[in-house]
């Protein structure tokens, strides 16, 4: 499996799965891997190590993707922010792909 097709698991407890039945249980690996440094700062583990241990929860993922320390977030707030961060990442993909192609 390539890094592009690999997924990073999200811990979704029963309450969250009931509140958001269509909530993601994983994110694209490249999205998370781009924040490796923050994962190490927040968790003392690499993205790969976190994935091997089952992933992290939504509020922890939001902190990693925002490159900041973790703080408590409600389920609603974490879900909304994760959706925004994912949409931003998807929106910038074409630019990232063009830049990578030019760098080759």
State pLDDT tens for residues 47-72: 999 999 999 998 999 999 999 999 99
Report CA-CA distances (Å) from 98 to 3, 30, 68, 90, 94: 18, 16, 28, 14, 6
pTM for the model stands at 0.83
Q: Residue 39 in contact with residue 32, Cβ under 8 Å?
A: yes
**Residues linked to residue 11 through DSSP beta bridges, in sequence order:** 57
d(CA 40, CA 26): 19
If pLDDT is split at 50, 70 and 90, which confidence band does 5 have? confident
Residue 18 pLDDT greater than 80, yes or no: no
Q: How confident is the model at residue 29 (pLDDT cuts 50, 70, 90)?
A: very high
Q: What is the pLDDT of residue 93?
A: 80
């Amino acid at each position: 499996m390539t890094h592009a097709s690999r997924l990073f698991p999200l811990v979704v407890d029963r309450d969250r799965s009931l509140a958001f039945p269509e909530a993601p249980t994983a994110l694209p690996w490249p999205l998370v891997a781009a924040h490796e440094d923050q994962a190490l700062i927040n968790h003392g583990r690499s993205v790969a190590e976190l994935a091997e241990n089952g992933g992290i929860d939504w509020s922890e993922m939001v902190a990693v993707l925002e490159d900041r320390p973790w703080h408590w977030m409600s389920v609603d707030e974490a879900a909304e922010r994760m959706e925004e961060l994912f949409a931003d990442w998807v929106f910038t993909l074409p630019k990232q792909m063009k830049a990578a192609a030019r760098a080759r």
